[in-house]
């Protein structure tokens, strides 16, 4: 059986604060239709794909905050996306803000199968930013205010003939994320990101450096775990706030094989041969033969770095 998965990374251009869910979903459906025309198997949408990147806004009214969240999935607004994907027989990955029935809020991604049914869910573990208004920053990044850290770890799923995993934005900068997925034999990692083009705490860390760090994280994560990796941006200028592009598909050698050219809605496609993950998994990154877990205890027993005394 062929293990080639035709993947479309569906980059979102900017979503303004005033844009409705219905208008955004119509844009996603338009990309889904184009992916279907090209006979794609899987469409990867971005992080918080239904709204502007609202954690840049400081809010104190919980009702105002909750308006950015989905209580059901599919919701009324997203049902047409599910129906169209099912009609095309395309699987998709979607990021959104999740409000659970018992009142928990997560930055979430779901994997939906070709039949329109939920295959898997991931909740962002590494939440960046801060919980209170920070006047020292050039803009706010309040993910720690609006979300709880994910509570379901880093699952993977057997789907579409392979082993699929997800993570979300800041997770890609953490080798722990990749290794947790790698240790479950992941063959394709799908993620979305909203990365401001400039560091809010360091004005001279601009677009070039941000793009470099993004590539470095993606390429290292893919190579060191011998997996395909698909990273999908929301980018362009949202209400005066620029987000970087850089949607890309990375092969299991860590090479970028396809990359977006714009900061708008754009499809980036590639035929990902899942068997191409085998060589790395059976040689230099054959974990069973080469990992030395007797030396890795600190990774799960401490958070802060503890340099030795002088
Ligand atoms: N949405 C994100 O997680 N953004 C972070 C920014 C704050 C650095 C990122 O890692 O891209």
First vs last C-alpha separation in the chain: 60
- Return the pLDDT at 206: 96
Other residues' Cβ atoms within 10 Å of the Cβ of residue 259: 15
Domain that holds residue 286: 4-301
Q: 308 lies in a domain?
A: no
- Return the pLDDT at 2: 77
Other residues' Cβ atoms within 10 Å of the Cβ of residue 169: 27
Which protein residue's CA is at the shortest distance from atom 3 of ligand 1? 170
Q: 145 lies in a domain?
A: yes
Dmax of the chain from CA atoms?
A: 65
Q: 11 lies in a domain?
A: yes
Asked if 47 is an active-site residue, the reply is: yes
Residue 109 CA to ligand 1 center (angstroms) comes to 15
Instruction: Please identify which of the residues 40, 93, 143, 169 carries the catalytic annotation.
Output: 169
Other residues' Cβ atoms within 10 Å of the Cβ of residue 295: 8
The verdict on the CB of residue 177 being under 6 Å from ligand 1 is: no
Asked if 187 is an active-site residue, the reply is: no
Other residues' Cβ atoms within 10 Å of the Cβ of residue 109: 29
The verdict on the CB of residue 12 being under 6 Å from ligand 1 is: no
225 phi and psi, to 5 degrees?
-125, 10
106 phi and psi, to 5 degrees?
-135, 155
Q: 65 lies in a domain?
A: yes
Q: 306 lies in a domain?
A: no
Rounded to two decimals, the pTM is 0.98
Q: 309 lies in a domain?
A: no
The verdict on the CB of residue 128 being under 6 Å from ligand 1 is: yes
Positions in the chain whose pLDDT score sits under 70: 1
Which protein residue's CA is at the shortest distance from atom 11 of ligand 1? 195
126 CA closest ligand 1 atom index: 3
Residue 23 CA to ligand 1 center (angstroms) comes to 25
Residue 239 CA to ligand 1 center (angstroms) comes to 18
- Return the pLDDT at 163: 98
Please give the tally of structural domains in the chain. 1
CATH number at residue 165: 3.60.110.10
pLDDT digits (tens, 9 = 90+) for 115-172: 999 999 999 999 999 999 999 999 999 999 999 999 999 999 999 999 999 999 999 9
47 CA closest ligand 1 atom index: 1
Q: 307 lies in a domain?
A: no
Residue 209 CA to ligand 1 center (angstroms) comes to 14
Q: 241 lies in a domain?
A: yes
């Amino acid at each position: 059986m062929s293990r080639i998965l035709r993947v479309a990374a569906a980059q979102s251009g900017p979503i303004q604060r005033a844009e409705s869910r219905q208008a955004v979903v119509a844009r996603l459906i338009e990309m889904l239709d184009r992916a279907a025309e090209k006979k794609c198997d899987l469409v990867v949408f971005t992080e918080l794909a239904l709204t502007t990147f609202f954690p840049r806004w400081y809010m104190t009214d919980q009702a105002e905050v909750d308006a950015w969240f989905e209580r059901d999935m599919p919701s009324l607004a997203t049902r047409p996306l599910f129906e169209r994907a099912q009609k095309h027989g395309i699987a998709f990955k979607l990021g959104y803000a999740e409000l659970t029935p018992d009142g928990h809020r997560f930055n979430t991604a779901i994997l939906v199968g070709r039949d329109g049914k939920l295959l898997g869910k991931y909740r962002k573990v590494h939440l960046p930013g801060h919980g209170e208004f920070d006047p020292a920053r050039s803009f706010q990044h309040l993910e720690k205010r609006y979300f709880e850290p994910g509570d379901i770890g880093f699952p993977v799923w057997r789907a579409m003939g392979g082993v699929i995993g997800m993570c979300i934005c800041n997770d890609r900068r953490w080798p722990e994320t990749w290794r947790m997925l790698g240790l479950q034999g992941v063959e394709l990692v799908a993620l979305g990101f909203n990365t401001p083009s400039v560091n809010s705490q360091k004005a001279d860390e601009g677009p070039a450096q941000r793009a470099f760090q993004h590539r470095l994280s993606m390429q290292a994560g893919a190579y060191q775990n011998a997996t395909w990796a698909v990273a999908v941006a929301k980018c362009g200028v949202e209400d005066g706030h620029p987000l970087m592009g850089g949607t890309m598909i990375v092969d299991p050698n860590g090479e970028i094989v396809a990359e977006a050219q714009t900061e708008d809605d754009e499809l980036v496609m590639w035929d990902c041969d899942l068997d191409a993950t085998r060589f790395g998994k059976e040689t230099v990154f054959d974990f069973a033969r080469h990992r030395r877990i007797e030396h890795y205890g600190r990774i799960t027993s401490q958070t802060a770095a503890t340099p030795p005394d002088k």
